[in-house]
């Protein structure tokens, strides 16, 4: 049985801050200006020119605390804490716009290179393995303004150029590469996933969404090809967000709907990236939604040849499929779903379903027969810092414990699980709500929703619990 690497994860746009140090604006910097509706799924949030203009004009906004660095100035201290925690592996992302502010420079921003040099060096010194997300949502804004982001084939070449720099500079440090975070987010949330912007306010065009996804698939295959040609030692993965669908009732219609939701929402992107071909079930879907993909023979051959080595997914909560809209709606990661009466939920309505994680591990391994990684999982909550510098997050410990039990059960049932990553291992800005108050970390960061605070780090109770859990896992090997 393979041993599971126990890890933690962050993303550059939610962790780093330090916008002033030569970083270009990217799509995630516009996030706080996106219009929202009360129970909107992210699909309704579209990045329009008005949003871009507002983000550019803003001088005092905080995402993620542009003034006063959240992570960049603290990386040494943070990596020391991760080492003290005993992490086997750290997942983080490289900011494309920190290296290439408009995506088109011929030489990278030196301050960005220096920062990542330091991060990789510190991780190596501490003997922490690296899982590198090359693109966690954020696309340089200039690429969006000049070319309409991933809708344009040209973005593939710009991304490959960025990847080539990363490979050549830091290739030796990386154990696992991920070309795109939650690639299926592009479907639910074109803003997030594909940096798909300047969509007309009213229009959510499937044609643009799926053409953009196709370009990302090709980009993924091209960087895998390049990485292999360069002889990189790291393995390449693909990642989707998983929701563990249940049919709302035992009505056959609901069951069929569940299968179809799984196919389109959950498996489609992974089927392409892992199997190398567009799955049969997308043809009727494309037809129904007037999607006519532009593809070339060469691109399809690339997809076939350069599939991923491992599969990974994020999992926070399960969801329900229903042909009717019966039942109370609740939020989940990227999707709005019907409330499951058998489950408790976080303060944000995300339902807690550890058995759903075990089920998902089986489904993913059964479908792809490749090593599986849980690239993100965790519990967002409001934490309270006591006057004596403690955080008693027993709710997070309970969440970890219940989920870890199911992971170990799936492993003993034969699923080849390679790694687990606790999301937002250090408190970072929430992607969905843009607030600091939705905390996932085992390390507390003293900053509030406006970015005010000392930025001092404190170990939560969950820090000691996870530290002990990792130690015990190593002892039992």
Provide the annotated active-site residues.
182, 376
How many other CB atoms sit within 10 Å of the CB of residue 256?
13
Report the b/e string of 140-149 with b at 16+ CB within 10 A.
Answer: bbbbbbebbb
CB of 160 to ligand BGP, least distance (A): 23
437 binds ligand BGP (CB under 6 A): no
Residues 279, 327, 432, 437: which binds ligand BGP (CB under 6 A)? Answer: 432
Q: Of 344-363, which residues contact ligand BGP (CB under 6 A)?
A: none
How far apart CA 246 and CA 104 sit, in angstroms, is: 45
Length of the chain: 477
Look at phi and psi of residue 212 and say left if phi exceeds 0, alpha if psi is from -120 to 50, else beta.
Answer: alpha
Residues 418, 438, 457, 459: which binds ligand BGP (CB under 6 A)? Answer: 438
Whether omega for the bond prior to residue 255 falls within 30 degrees of 0, making it cis, is no
User: Alpha carbon of 392 to those of 75, 383, 388, 430: distances in Å?
Assistant: 25, 8, 11, 20
411 binds ligand BGP (CB under 6 A): no
How far apart CA 393 and CA 141 sit, in angstroms, is: 38
Cα dihedral value 50, 51, 54, 58, nearest 10: -170
| DSSP one-letter string for 430-462 | -TTT--SSSB--SEEE---TTS-S---EEE-HH
Candidate segments 115-123, 283-291, 300-308, 427-435, binder of ligand BGP by CB under 6 A? 427-435
Q: Which is nearer to ligand BGP, 188 or 217 (CB)?
A: 188
Contact 376, 316 (CB under 8 A): yes
Q: Of 309-328, which residues contact ligand BGP (CB under 6 A)?
A: 314
CB of 11 to ligand BGP, least distance (A): 5
Q: Which long-range contacts (CB under 8 A, 24 or more apart) does 442-449 make?
A: 442/8, 442/85, 442/396, 442/466, 443/78, 443/81, 443/85, 444/383, 444/385, 444/391, 445/70, 446/385, 447/65, 447/70, 449/62
CB of 424 to ligand BGP, least distance (A): 7
Q: Of 231-290, which residues contact ligand BGP (CB under 6 A)?
A: 241
Cα dihedral value 19, 374, 85, 176, nearest 10: -70
Residue nearest to ligand BGP (CB): 432
Q: Of 170-209, which residues contact ligand BGP (CB under 6 A)?
A: 181-182
CB of 46 to ligand BGP, least distance (A): 18
CB of 153 to ligand BGP, least distance (A): 25
Structure tokens at 254: 């609901």
11 binds ligand BGP (CB under 6 A): yes
Annotate each residue in 47-86 with x if it binds ligand BGP (CB under 6 A) or - if it does not, as one string: ----------------------------------------
- Nearest CA to 331 among 412, 421, 430? 430
Annotate each residue in 103-142 with x if it binds ligand BGP (CB under 6 A) or - if it does not, as one string: ----------------------------------------
Q: Which is nearer to ligand BGP, 183 or 303 (CB)?
A: 183
Candidate segments 35-43, 110-118, 389-397, 430-438, binder of ligand BGP by CB under 6 A? 430-438
380 binds ligand BGP (CB under 6 A): yes
- Nearest CA to 5 among 260, 259, 367, 372? 372
CB of 243 to ligand BGP, least distance (A): 11
CB of 432 to ligand BGP, least distance (A): 3
CB of 288 to ligand BGP, least distance (A): 27
User: Alpha carbon of 139 to those of 108, 245, 303: distances in Å?
Assistant: 15, 30, 22
Q: Which is nearer to ligand BGP, 118 or 433 (CB)?
A: 433
Residues 423, 455, 463, 465: which binds ligand BGP (CB under 6 A)? Answer: 423
List alpha helices for 289-427, DSSP H.
297-305, 354-368, 394-412
216 binds ligand BGP (CB under 6 A): no
Give the bridge partners for 321, in sequence order.
247
How far apart CA 415 and CA 435 sit, in angstroms, is: 36
Q: Residues binding ligand BGP: what is the number (CB under 6 A)?
A: 16
Q: Which is nearer to ligand BGP, 26 or 299 (CB)?
A: 26
- Nearest CA to 228 among 167, 271, 277? 167
Candidate segments 229-237, 246-254, 296-304, 424-432, binder of ligand BGP by CB under 6 A? 424-432
377 binds ligand BGP (CB under 6 A): no
Candidate segments 61-69, 304-312, 397-405, 426-434, binder of ligand BGP by CB under 6 A? 426-434
431 binds ligand BGP (CB under 6 A): yes
Q: Which is nearer to ligand BGP, 196 or 291 (CB)?
A: 196
Half-sphere exposure of 216 (CA within 13 A, CB side): 35
Provide the binding-site residues for ligand BGP, judged by CB under 6 A.
11, 14, 181-182, 241, 314, 333-334, 376, 380, 423, 430-433, 438
């Amino acid at each position: 049985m393979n041993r599971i690497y126990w890890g933690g994860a962050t993303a550059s746009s939610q962790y780093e801050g330090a916008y002033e140090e030569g970083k270009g604006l990217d799509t995630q910097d516009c996030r706080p200006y996106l219009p929202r509706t009360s129970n909107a799924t992210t699909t309704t949030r579209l990045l329009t020119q008005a949003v871009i203009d507002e983000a550019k004009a803003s001088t005092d906004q905080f995402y993620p605390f542009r003034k006063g660095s959240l992570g960049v100035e603290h990386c040494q201290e943070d990596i020391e804490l991760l080492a003290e925690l005993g992490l086997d592996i750290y997942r983080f992302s490289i900011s494309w716009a920190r290296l290439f502010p408009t995506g088109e420079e011929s030489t990278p921003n030196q301050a960005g290179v220096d920062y990542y040099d330091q991060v990789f060096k510190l991780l190596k010194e501490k003997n922490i393995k690296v899982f590198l997300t090359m693109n966690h949502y954020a696309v340089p804004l200039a690429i969006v303004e000049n070319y309409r982001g991933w809708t344009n084939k040209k973005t593939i070449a710009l991304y490959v150029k960025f990847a080539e720099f990363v490979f050549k500079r830091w290739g030796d440090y990386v154990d696992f590469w991920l070309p795109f975070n939650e690639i299926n987010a592009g479907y639910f949330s074109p803003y997030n996933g594909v940096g798909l912007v300047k969509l007309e306010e009213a229009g959510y065009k499937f044609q643009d969404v799926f053409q953009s996804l196709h370009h990302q698939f090709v980009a993924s295959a091209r960087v895998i090809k390049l990485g292999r040609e360069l002889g990189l030692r790291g393995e390449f993965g693909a990642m989707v967000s998983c929701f563990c669908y249940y049919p709302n009732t035992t009505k056959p219609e609901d069951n069929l709907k569940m299968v179809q939701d799984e196919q389109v929402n959950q498996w489609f992107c992974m089927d392409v990236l892992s199997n190398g071909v567009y799955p049969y079930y997308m043809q009727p879907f494309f037809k129904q939604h007037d999607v006519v993909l532009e593809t070339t023979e060469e691109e399809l051959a690339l997809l076939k040849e350069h599939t991923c080595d491992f599969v990974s997914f994020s999992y926070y909560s399960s969801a329900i499929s229903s042909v009717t809209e019966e039942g109370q709606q609740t939020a989940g990661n990227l999707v709005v779903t019907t409330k499951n009466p058998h489950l408790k939920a976080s303060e944000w309505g995300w339902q807690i379903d550890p058995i759903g994680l075990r089920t998902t591990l089986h489904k993913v391994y059964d479908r792809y027969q490749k090593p599986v990684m849980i690239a993100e999982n965790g519990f967002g909550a409001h934490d309270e810092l006591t006057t004596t510098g403690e955080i008693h997050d027993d709710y997070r410990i309970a969440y970890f414990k219940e989920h870890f039990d199911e992971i170990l059960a799936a492993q003993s049932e034969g699923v080849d699980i390679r790694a687990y990553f606790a999301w937002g291992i250090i408190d970072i800005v929430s992607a969905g709500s843009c607030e600091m108050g939705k905390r996932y970390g085992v390390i507390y960061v003293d900053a509030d929703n406006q970015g005010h605070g000392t930025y001092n780090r404190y170990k939560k109770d969950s820090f000691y619990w996870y530290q002990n859990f990792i130690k015990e896992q190593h002892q039992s090997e």
